Amino acid sequence: MKAYILVNLIPGLEADTISQISALPGVEETDLVFGRWDVVVQVQIKNIPDLSRMVINQIRGLQGVQTTETLVGEIL
């Protein structure tokens, strides 16, 4: 399945945090954006439980991540 994780970052830590997010298994793309969110992370993952673990245990655990919002895309 495809999902998009919207991430708000702590100013000054963006480059390192984005680099760490990009290296996570399942991450296909990271795009810097302007507005309420700082980066949109596109992931390809098996199922909702795996997505939940990725967001909670990996992305939210990174220094520099303030908040996230996850959008579930198409189920392939």
Contact 1, 56 (CB under 8 A): no
Could you give the percent of the chain with pLDDT greater than 90? 95
Rounded CA-CA distance 3/47 in Å is 10
Q: Which residue has the tokens 């994780």?
A: 5
pLDDT on residue 76: 57
User: Rounded to two decimals, what is the model's pTM?
Assistant: 0.91
Q: What CATH number corresponds to the domain at position 44?
A: 3.30.70.920
What tens digit of pLDDT does each residue of 54-73 get?
Answer: 999 999 999 999 999 999 98
Number of domains in the chain: 1
pLDDT-based confidence at residue 52 (cuts at 50, 70, 90): very high
Rounded CA-CA distance 23/65 in Å is 15
What tens digit of pLDDT does each residue of 27-44 get?
Answer: 999 999 999 999 999 999
Instruction: Tell me which residue range forms the domain holding 62.
Output: 2-72
DSSP, collapsed to helix, strand or coil, labels residue 47 as coil
